[in-house]
Structure 1
Amino acid sequence: MAIDPKYLMESYANPIDYWELFSKSGLSKFPPCVVSVAITGGNQGKESNPNLPETLDEQVQQTYDAYKEGASLVHIHCRCPHDPSTVTDDPEVYRELNRRIRKKCPDIIINNTVIGGKWSRNGVMCPPMNVSIPARPEVGSVDITNYTWSMMRKGRPEYGRPQDTLEEMQYTINKQELEHTLSEMKKYGVKPEFELFDIGDLQYLRDLIQEGKTDPNVPNWVQMVFTPALTYQTPDMLLAAIRHMPKNTVLGIVATGGCQYPFLALALILGCNVRVGMEDGYYVEKGVLAESNAQLVAKIVRIAKELGRPIATPAQAREILGLGAPRMEF
């Protein structure tokens, strides 16, 4: 599959190249923006926003509603059916959800969380996420960094969390674990989505590419995550990430916290793709809980259209990411 350079971040990293395109037609000639929606996440739940989808039925319906508003990729964490306050380690749950989403949204790109390494809360190991690989999503997110952060989780007495709890989160992944994860993904035909949480991760990603650990025939798909706990959410940090992005890369931006939508607006202006959804932020504006993931997608689509940036259809998103036709085996 030939790689179209107009979709790659390197085409917009040089200020002169950017200006030549931007000055003539604003954002209208920039690539269509791939809007990803992270519907659930693996941390907060209905205790934080009662509209956050946890059950399979809720996740299917909210994916469909977000898809109708313009999302072309859905990022999924499955919860335990018997305890939706935690993520599942059962691949059959992912397989069933993927099947049901494909039936309702035939051409949406399904992205299951894979992570790839080991993570813990307050020193207690959490279930591995690479169980989602055999469910054969088209894309799987892999965190290639190592990080720690603190997070306040609201109490949920019915599932053993009687009060608000400050949790110390730790994630680690070594090179052997990462290479094993990428090998498993290749076996099942799953495209990696590299999640980066720090500017230094770009050097590690470049090394992986130079060592031949990625497919040179399709673009690398990167989600750069800007969160107050790990990376400053400032224009200069985003510009630095763009300047140092490896070649042959399509770049998506994730932002959390109070500056989420202003930061994503900047990403739209700079030619990046964007992600929204209740995993990243469950407020639609200050002090107002989101009614649904669709509402969050509608907001970023509206911002993009006001700026003049086109939104990618699922077919365009597949072309941009180097994916083939939708999977039909389910």
Structure 2
Amino acid sequence: MSPVTLPTSWSCRGSTLLNPRGPDRITRINATPNERKIMEKLVITVTTDSAGSYPRNPYLTHCDDTKGVAEEYIRAMEAGATIVHTHGQYRSDPVIQPDGKQLSIPNIDGWRDITERVRAAGEPIVQFGLASMRLEHKLELWRELKPDMSSINFNSHDEYFQPDPDHPPTPIYSIHPIPELRMYSSLAKEHGVKQEIECFNTGAYWAIGKIRAGDFWTEDGVREIEKDLLPDPLWVTLFFGWAGQGWTPPTPKALQYMVDNLPPRTNFSMSCMDPPNYWAMVAHTIAIGGHVRIGMEDCPFIEDGVYAKTNAELVEKAVRIAREIGREIASAAEAREITGLTPVQ
């Protein structure tokens, strides 16, 4: 196995690497082993089951059935992933609805099979990728399958997938106004589901502040107070290089800008859909104390132009990068503590 090559420009401010869990928690680039322990263990999310991201990937046969998807997640868990971000089984409606949404309609039995298989193999954090799905379908999945986390975009969905110029683009579009985010947050809390808050740009931070404040106005001009809709600590995923009008550049400067402006009491994970910059963004995120999302949905390449044969290979590379700089990998129980979830009973 060839050694991992890490970026040389790791410093974000002078000779320090920022730890986003607090302004006083910093780690020097040349930190001693004891000083490195300040940086918490790395939580790795894996997402394997989105066949549309890279249609030329020859190693997507696992997406053909739910057993294959689950087995791919299990191998990634064995490699070090502790959060399983799954899209289950669904069909897409190409028509944009009058309310600005483009529907994803789930196959409940397919979701159940994947969820039960991965839970039987360990104690992962099961995170449902439902951000572009209608609330009624989210609620059905929450009631039936009780995920640990569920995704919601605190920006608007405005994505334009065309990784292969010889294939037509796949647009995803839906708006998420404050009343919807309030309702979603309230119902997630009621059902005991922690939100994975998707942030494509800093506008999502404004929405987080609005929901956290709990001070709302109805369409009829009635003021309503509803507090504690977002339990601490928040778990947000920052998205870089995802094509569309919510795009944020996949660069260290953009990453640092997003991290510098994070809301308080927030943990972050990083997702990047830009193969030329992907592994540099992963390494930089790990170095500054963030967590990472790995998998064929985001980037299927183990190195430039070379497809990984499994998602476990991609997770193993992230693990090597972390250990090269002295950062250990969180166990399933440790990941639950970091994300603010209760232990498995």
Q: Please, what TM-score do these two structures have when normalized by structure 1?
A: 0.81
Identity of matched residues, % = 24
Of the three residues 166, 171, 179, the one matched with 2:169 is: 166
Counterpart for residue 43 of structure 1: 52
- Asked if 2 retains the 8 angstrom alpha-carbon contact of 1:138 and 1:190, the reply is yes
The list of structure 1 runs, each at least 4 consecutive aligned residues, that deviate by more than 4 angstroms after superposition, is 19-22, 127-131
Counterpart for residue 21 of structure 2: 10
Instruction: Provide the secondary structure at the position in 1 that maps to 2:160.
Output: strand
Counterpart for residue 41 of structure 2: 32
**Does 1 or 2 have the higher relative contact order (CA < 8 Å, sep 6+)?**
1
Query: Aligned residues, how many?
Result: 297
Q: How far 1:146 moved relative to its partner? A: 1.2
Q: Does 1:322 align with 2:322?
A: no
What is the rounded CA distance, in whole Å, between the counterparts of 1:133 and 1:289 in structure 2?
Answer: 34
Q: Does 1:133 align with 2:154?
A: no
* 1:313/1:165 CA distance change after superposition, 3 Å: same
What is the rounded CA distance, in whole Å, between the counterparts of 2:141 and 2:75 in structure 1?
Answer: 23
- Asked if 2 retains the 8 angstrom alpha-carbon contact of 1:10 and 1:245, the reply is no
What is the rounded CA distance, in whole Å, between the counterparts of 1:234 and 1:274 in structure 2?
Answer: 15
Give the unaligned 5+ runs of structure 2: 1-18, 92-102, 215-226
Counterpart for residue 116 of structure 2: 99
* 1:209/1:263 CA distance change after superposition, 3 Å: same
Alignment deviations for residues 230-273 of structure 1 (CA, whole Å, 9 cap, x no partner): 00112222111111111111111111212111011101110001
**Comparing 130-139 with 62-71, which one deviates more in the overlay?**
130-139
Alignment deviations for residues 195-225 of structure 1 (CA, whole Å, 9 cap, x no partner): 1011222122122222235344x31111111
Counterpart for residue 124 of structure 1: none
Q: Does 1:192 align with 2:209?
A: no
Instruction: Provide the secondary structure at the position in 2 that maps to 1:274.
Output: strand
Give the unaligned 5+ runs of structure 1: 1-7, 119-126, 156-162
Instruction: Provide the secondary structure at the position in 1 that maps to 2:129.
Output: strand
What is the rounded CA distance, in whole Å, between the counterparts of 1:42 and 1:187 in structure 2?
Answer: 33
Q: Please, what TM-score do these two structures have when normalized by structure 2?
A: 0.77
Alignment deviations for residues 266-301 of structure 1 (CA, whole Å, 9 cap, x no partner): 011100011101111112111111111101100100
- Asked if 2 retains the 8 angstrom alpha-carbon contact of 1:109 and 1:326, the reply is no
Alignment deviations for residues 96-131 of structure 1 (CA, whole Å, 9 cap, x no partner): 3211211122x111001121666xxxxxxxx96665
* 1:247/1:280 CA distance change after superposition, 3 Å: same
* 1:130/1:260 CA distance change after superposition, 3 Å: farther
What is the rounded CA distance, in whole Å, between the counterparts of 2:20 and 2:229 in structure 1?
Answer: 17
* 1:143/1:215 CA distance change after superposition, 3 Å: closer
Quote the RMSD (CA, aligned, Å). Answer: 2.8
Instruction: Provide the secondary structure at the position in 1 that maps to 2:72.
Output: helix
- Asked if 2 retains the 8 angstrom alpha-carbon contact of 1:116 and 1:130, the reply is no
Counterpart for residue 259 of structure 1: 277
Give, as a single letter, the amino acid of the residue that structure 1 aligns with 2:317: K
Of the three residues 78, 93, 110, the one matched with 1:68 is: 78
Counterpart for residue 221 of structure 1: 235
Instruction: Provide the secondary structure at the position in 2 that maps to 1:53.
Output: helix
